[in-house]
Amino acid sequence: MTGVARTRGVVLLGVDGHVVGVEAHVSLGVSGFSVVGLADKLVSEARDRCRSAVINTGLEWPGPKNTVGLSPAELPKRGPTLDLAIALALLAASDQVPRSSTADLVIVGELALDGRVRPVRGALVAALAARAGGARRIVVPSANVEEASLVPDIDVIGVRHLAGLVAFARGEAPPDVELTVDDDEPSAPDDVRAVPDLADVRGQHGARAALELAAAGGHHLAMTGPPGIGKTMLAERLPGLLPALDERSALEVTAIHSVAGRLGSGGRLISVPPFEAPHHTATHAAMVGGGSGVPRVGLVSLAHRGVLFLDEAPEFDGPSLDALRQPLESGEVVVSRSGFTVRFPARFHLVVAMNPCPCGRSGGAGPAAPICSCTSQQRRRYLSRISGPLLDRIDLRVGLVRPTLADLEFGASDAEPTSIVAARVLEARERAARRLAGTPYLLNSEVPGPVVRSDYGLDPDAAVPLHGAVARGSLSARGADRIVRVAWTVADLAGHDRPTLADVGTALLHRDGGSAWAA
């Protein structure tokens, strides 16, 4: 038999899904198999996977000449997610499956050589794309059903084997192989991470206040202090101060982790703000995304709506650090390649931690404090590894001091737990949301500089210290805008209608961060 059959699949580009038309033409002629429509090697290899799967399922491989067309032709097609759609279209074109049953389906899945359907990355994104394209049903691997079912208003059909999909298209009962095949693909582990409590941190009152400010206004934070003083402990507790993700943000974050293959089983939305702490050997592509060929999700996108913590920040590669400057300003990463451009969302809290000098002993106090062996030139060189333009984008800077013996023995009983601080943070965010109602901004840190200056300026008396800092040249224009944003956050936490002189002073104090940043 010869003819043309149609169905639809989904390809991923960045963190977006695109519905693709899949057409199969079976005809007489010289034996061959061709795929047209800007397909990469993985898609072209579907020929061999589909042929083996069809034959091992007990069906007849169409032929002799098979042509598969993928539309729109100008959209790059990458990955193995089209295997199942191509196989079904070929079977329909050879009249082994009713052609009328395939046209309205969206089908996603990778085929094993024996006909099993392997799970794929981005099933949630595929379901979102299918719904946006007007589809009412989507077929996915059984292992991805719970994930795809997070998308409302679309029926999700799970299949374990090509024979099961064929039976569904024919309107027959599921075959035994569909009911008995076990999925031997290892799935990503569930990452239900317990957020540690802020009450565990002894002392560090200034750093705790800066952490609260960062959570309330969405500001970035830099901490400096000797090793073992609590920088990592503080950073790990920031997600607990952030409000739980709302439904829209949770779906957005879950989709990113789905595309990255880091979504565990169970079909749950990610509601806790993510926390990413890469090693300092992370490459530029690993940090912001991209890479050769298929653009991959970077750590800044995996930290979207959460926290990106860079411990020992000066040890990171300079270009990798400077690549953060764009997402810190725009909230997204743009990766351009010849033929396509993808955008990855990347709006996160940046927290950087570093020692005051290479040996880590600078800044100690008291007769028992360790003696620093670094020269002033070594300290300046070490601190300058974080470039000025990047540091200028960090609103809050704090120097940590060694806790006293009293802090270590009795401080835990007096320290506020995460729940109390998080309640204040939520109240401050709600106050800011009411003020920003009717604008596209939710947090003080998201308000652009021109809008800050035109709509959210300071009273003349409160602005006096800010004008003095700008006049002395110790503060850039961008830094001045950031001081105003932080001052509004201080006011929100204090319950003030507008920033006072004291609020602006607090913002300037957190911008200075102690002597280490001025070294």
- Residue of 150, 384, 185 lying closest to 268 (CA atoms): 150
- For position 273, what pLDDT does the model report? 95
Q: Tens digit of pLDDT for each residue in 75-112?
A: 989 889 999 999 999 999 999 999 999 999 999 999 99
Ranges of each domain in the chain: 3-180, 198-437, 447-519
> Phi, psi (5° rounding) for residue 25?
-120, 120
Q: Which CATH architecture has domain 3-180?
A: 2-Layer Sandwich (3.30)
- For position 177, what pLDDT does the model report? 83
> Phi, psi (5° rounding) for residue 452?
-60, -45
Q: Tens digit of pLDDT for each residue in 360-397?
A: 877 655 445 567 888 888 888 888 889 888 988 999 99
Q: How far apart are CA 519 and CA 511, in angstroms?
A: 15
- For position 3, what pLDDT does the model report? 81
**Would the pLDDT of 190 be above 60?**
no
Was domain 447-519 assigned CATH 1.10.8?
yes
Class of domain 198-437: alpha beta
Helices vs strands, H then E, count in the chain: 23, 16
Burial code of 411-420, b = ≥16 C-beta within 10 A, e = fewer?
beeebeebee
**Dihedral sign, Cα of residue 117, residue 190, residue 243, residue 216:** negative
Check: CB of residue 491 under 8 Å from CB of residue 498: yes
